A and B are shown apart, each in its own frame.
Chain A
Amino acid sequence: MAKIAYTLHVNGEDHEVYAEPNLTLLEVVRDELRLTGAKEGCGTGDCGACTMHLDGENVTSCLVLGVEAQGRDVLTIEGLAQDGKLHPLQQAFIDHGALQCGFCIPGMILSGVALLERNPHPTREEIRQGIAGNLCRCTGYTKIVDAIEAVATGVAH
């Protein structure tokens, strides 16, 4: 159970990690790198609160070993805004009031961004499919779908 040294590339920066191999990417990013935007909800890949991008694709970081993410591009919610400017989807969530307690929102936004990168003009059904792996217990999803749809259709609220 020896610790392992490896480099994680997170939000455009290299981080040297020295950790036990059984730590998940989520645990390493939260506890070692102190980036706490991604949350642990279920820990079994069902709720999506831990969603990050790995090489541009959204994944559940609770089911990825930290050491398995070495050499890959990791994006967390902290890396989404550029030059102090929110990503259009982050702004749309604010404009549409698409959040209540906020626990699911980092993962929800990263799944939304990944969806829009794959499919810039999704239907509402495709949006619902795209965020099917992200549970929200507050909003009922309607405003979240509205926010993603607003970015997809280019209609600023």
Chain B
Amino acid sequence: MRRFDYFRPSSLAEASTILREHGEGGLLLAGGTDVLVQVKEAGRPVRYVVSLADIEGLSGITEHASGLQIGARTRMVEVGSHPSIQARYSALSDGASLVGSVQTRHLATIGGNVCNAAPSADTSPGLAVLEATAHASGPSGERTIPIIELWTGPGRTSLEAGEVVTHFTLPAPGTRAGSHYQRHTPRKVMDIAAVGTAVYLELDASGTCTTARIALGAVAPTVIRAPRAEAALVGGPVTEETAAAAAAVAATEATPISDQRASAAFRTYLIEVMTRQSILRAAERASA
């Protein structure tokens, strides 16, 4: 691996100072499962690494009446196995449990997965439909960023130089709400999504869909929402027919490319099939 200097600050303020003083070529290290591979294999330029290991308060999951707070250094294994996330924020635990291997999930963090900004990241569509907010701390203070506005392209975020994502907040789901994430991969595990679909639904007592959110992964430069498909679902019951109709709309909202995992045409087909399945699974969970 190329050589670099190593810093291990014990506070966000110290981390921010290091980043400001040393400038370009800094790399924030959390779990390392993406960034170290990029340094080793993809020649990612790095002059120095700033480890987040000693900064207190960056990991852990707390649930409040108003919602959930997840520290950026919380690992996939904790996100995926957390009982409240599994019960009420299922699209997120679905995604976290799919990342890499057991070994990967013991290292990889949710903040790392999000800030790596891969359009195929398995936690991102779930965070998008659960309307997560990223909280960042940087030289100009603290600010919040709606998760969907954090990603600006493959590997690119709207974070400013020296900014560190500290945690995410997710609003509490409605009483009859359910969500689901799934992905298609050529291999069952140890692979990267060719397409990912996440759906969040709220139903009223009669089963009418009152809120629908749909996010698609790996079919555009960033994870995207599918607003026209969402609008197509709201106001009616969730049935095989309405799910299929909304899924057909979703397939028109993406701009997939062809690569070694799937052709653009196959991705478009997958969006339709998988969005329909995810809508029905989310509705099942909302009714459970």
Contact = CB atoms under 8 A, between A and B. Distances in A.
Question: Can you list the 4 inter-chain pairs with the closest CB atoms, starting with the nearest?
Answer: A133-B101, A21-B6, A132-B189, A57-B106
B239 to A, nearest CB: 32
24 contacts: A1-B3, A1-B5, A4-B6, A21-B4, A21-B49, A22-B1, A22-B3, A22-B4, A23-B1, A46-B190, A51-B103, A54-B106, A58-B102, A60-B103, A60-B104, A63-B32, A63-B107, A68-B32, A111-B102, A111-B103, A114-B102, A132-B102, A133-B100, A133-B103
B107 A64 contact: yes
Contacts of A130: 102
A89 to B, nearest CB: 16
Nearest to A53: B106
Interface in A43-57: 43-46, 48, 51, 54, 57
A24 interface: yes
Nearest to B7: A21
Contacts of B104: 45, 60, 133
A111 B107 CA distance: 14
B106 A68 contact: no
A72 to B, nearest CB: 10
Interface stretch (B33-41, B60-68, B128-136, B245-253): B33-41
Contacts of B103: 45, 48, 51, 58-60, 111, 133
B2 interface: yes
A3 B40 CA distance: 19
B102 A115 contact: yes
B193 interface: no
Interface of A: 1-2, 4, 20-24, 43-46, 48, 51, 54, 57-60, 63-65, 67-68, 111, 114-115, 129-130, 132-134
Given A22-B4, A132-B189, A133-B100, A68 B40 contact: no
A20 B3 contact: yes
Assign chain B's interface to a size class.
20 to 34
B29 interface: yes
Interface of B: 1-6, 8, 29, 32-33, 36-37, 40-41, 49, 51, 53, 77, 100-104, 106-107, 188-190
Given A20-B3, A60-B103, A133-B100, 7 more contacts: A4-B6, A22-B1, A22-B6, A45-B100, A58-B103, A64-B32, A65-B51
Contacts of A59: 103, 106-107
Nearest to A110: B103
A54 B75 CA distance: 14
Contacts of A46: 190
A82 B101 CA distance: 28
A133 B100 CA distance: 8
A68 B102 contact: no
Nearest to B31: A63
Given A59-B107, A68-B29, A48 B101 contact: yes
Nearest to A43: B40
B188 to A, nearest CB: 8
B100 A22 contact: no
B147 to A, nearest CB: 25
Of A4, A21, A43, A48, most B-chain CB atoms within 10 Å: A21
Contacts of A21: 4-6, 49
A120 B38 CA distance: 36
B4 A1 contact: yes
Determine which residue in B3, B6, B40, B103 has the highest number of CB atoms from chain A within 10 A of its CB, and name it.
B103
A134 B3 CA distance: 28
B94 to A, nearest CB: 15
A63 B38 CA distance: 11
Nearest to B3: A1
